[in-house]
Amino acid sequence: MQSRSSGQRTGRPRSAAADAAILEATRSALVELGWSRLTLGDVATRAGVAKTTLYRRWAGKNELVVDAVAALFDELELPDRGSLAADIEGVVLQFATILSRPETKTALMAVVAEGTRDEPLRERIRTSIVDRQKRLVLAGRARATARGELPPQPDPEAAARAADLIFDVVAGAVVHRTLVSSKPVDANWARDFTRLLLSGLIATSPS
């Protein structure tokens, strides 16, 4: 007989519908109540689930809110628009659209502010949001390499460092433009930003 120490989950399986309802209720509560007044009990009521359901899934408010934000950014996709420039523009416009939603603004600003005082929360933000979205950079580079737009990167460590830098540049620029400067990220801005990004990316690519 297999012991519980093997790491296998026991009990009833998680419900994807319940998880989605809980995360949606979390974002709604954040918009209405703000971080300080948000409680797991309020989220449970809004989601129509028992508080024990939340506590079985999330250890506390920090983890729940980060996952609620991460689910929004998981909507990002890498479009195949025929060129690296067009693909980047598509991702930038998607990202800006997600950031413009009230629930994204409130939730992201809340977790970033709380993360300045909480190292475990910062780590969860990195693993649940930042690291997950770096997949788009890696996929975009691989597609551009297959098209012949960028040279191959044989060094995995150099490729990982480049992906980190590209992600930081794109995310930092779009977040600053949308949430700090409160200026629009339209097609013209996305095109100009992409040209600037590609000029640096091509210049630093190994020959």
pTM metric for this prediction: 0.81
How many domains does the chain contain in total? 2
Mean pLDDT to the nearest integer, 175-183: 93
pLDDT score at 159: 86
pLDDT, tens digit (0-9, with 9 covering 90-100), for 105-136 = 888 888 888 889 999 989 999 999 999 999 99
Residues 110 and 65: beta-carbon distance below 8 Å = yes
Residue 142 lies in a domain: yes
Nearest to 101 by CA among 34, 28, 19: 28
pLDDT, tens digit (0-9, with 9 covering 90-100), for 13-64 = 568 888 999 999 999 999 899 888 999 999 999 999 999 999 899 988 889 9
Q: CA–CA distance from 104 to each of 79, 91, 101, 172 (Å)?
A: 22, 17, 5, 16
Pair 185, 129 in one domain: yes
Domain encompassing residue 45: 13-58
CATH of the domain at 114: 1.10.357.10
Pair 128, 165 in one domain: yes
CATH of the domain at 31: 1.10.10.60
